[in-house]
Amino acid sequence: MGLIRLHFYADGFATNTVKIKVINLSKAAKYDLTGGPIFKRMVFLSVPLMATSFMQMAYNLTDMFWMGRLSSGSVAAVGTAGQFLWLSMALMIIGRMGAEIGVSQNVGKGNIDAAKAFAQNATYIALILGILYAVVMIFARGILISFFNIDDAAVVYEAEIYLMISAFSIPFVMLHNVISGTFNGFGNTKLPFYINAFGLALNIIISPMLIFWAGMGIAGAALGTVIASIVNLILKLWAIKYFKSRPFENYAFLIRPSLEKIKQIAQWGVPVAIESAFFTFLFMVVSRLIADFSVGAIAAHRVGYQVEALSFMIGGGFAMAVTSFVGQNYGAKKYSRLRDGFKISALAMAVYGLFITLILYFFAEPLVSIFLNDPAEIVMGGDYLRIIALTQFLFCIEGVATGYFRGRGLTMKPTIVGITSNVLRVIFTYTLARTALGISGVWIGIAMAMTIKSIWLIAWHFFNVRTMPKTDELVAQADA
Alpha helices in 110-209 (DSSP H): 112-139, 141-146, 153-167, 170-186, 190-208
Q: Is residue 25 part of a domain?
A: no
**Residue where a domain terminates, one of 208, 233, 257:** 257
Q: How far apart are CA 378 and CA 364, in angstroms?
A: 9
Shared domain for 226 and 285, answered yes or no, is: no
| Mean pLDDT of the 274-299 span | 76
Q: What is the pLDDT of residue 31?
A: 64
Shared domain for 353 and 425, answered yes or no, is: yes
Shared domain for 407 and 275, answered yes or no, is: yes
Shared domain for 106 and 235, answered yes or no, is: yes
Please count the structural domains in the chain.
2
- DSSP E strands in 207-320: the ranges are none
Exposed e or buried b per residue across 366-398, where buried means at least 16 C-beta atoms within 10 angstroms of its C-beta: ebbbebbeeeebbbbbbbbbbbbbbbbbbbbbb
**Residue where a domain terminates, one of 224, 257, 290:** 257
Shared domain for 156 and 133, answered yes or no, is: yes
Q: What is the pLDDT of residues 190-242, one digit of tens each?
A: 888 889 889 888 888 898 899 888 888 889 988 988 999 999 999 999 998 88
Shared domain for 355 and 457, answered yes or no, is: yes
Q: Is residue 455 part of a domain?
A: yes
Which helix (DSSP H) or strand (DSSP E) does residue 5 occupy? strand 4-11
Q: Is residue 214 part of a domain?
A: yes
Q: Is residue 403 part of a domain?
A: yes
Closest CA to 411 of 94, 178, 34: 94
Shared domain for 272 and 148, answered yes or no, is: no
Q: Is residue 30 part of a domain?
A: no
Residue % of the chain over a pLDDT of 90: 20
Q: Is residue 339 part of a domain?
A: yes
What's the residue count for the chain?
Answer: 480
Contact in structure between 28 and 188 (CB atoms under 8 Å)? no
Q: Is residue 361 part of a domain?
A: yes
State whether the Cα torsion 287-444-389-39 is positive or negative.
Answer: negative
Q: What is the pLDDT of residue 449?
A: 92
Residue that wins the pLDDT comparison between 2 and 28: 28
Shared domain for 111 and 208, answered yes or no, is: yes
Mean pLDDT of the chain: 80
Q: Is residue 477 part of a domain?
A: no
Q: What is the pLDDT of residue 137?
A: 92
Tell me how many degrees the CA angle 353-355-356 measures, rounded to the nearest 5.
65
Q: What is the pLDDT of residues 377-432, one digit of tens each?
A: 788 888 999 999 999 899 888 888 888 888 888 878 888 888 899 899 999 999 99
- pTM greater than 0.85 (yes/no): no
Residue that wins the pLDDT comparison between 343 and 58: 343
Give the CA distances from residue 474 to residues 95, 343, 443, in Å, rounded to whole numbers and listed in that order: 33, 22, 50
**Residue where a domain terminates, one of 257, 284, 303:** 257
Shared domain for 79 and 152, answered yes or no, is: yes
DSSP assignment string, 370-393 = TT---HHHHHHHHHHHHHHHTTHH
Q: What is the pLDDT of residues 175-191, one digit of tens each?
A: 998 998 888 888 777 88
Q: What is the pLDDT of residue 466?
A: 73
Shared domain for 281 and 192, answered yes or no, is: no
Shared domain for 203 and 109, answered yes or no, is: yes
Which residues span the domain enclosing 65? 52-257
Beta carbons within 8 Å of 19's beta carbon, 6+ residues apart: 7, 8, 9, 474, 477, 478
Shared domain for 300 and 162, answered yes or no, is: no
Residue that wins the pLDDT comparison between 152 and 99: 99
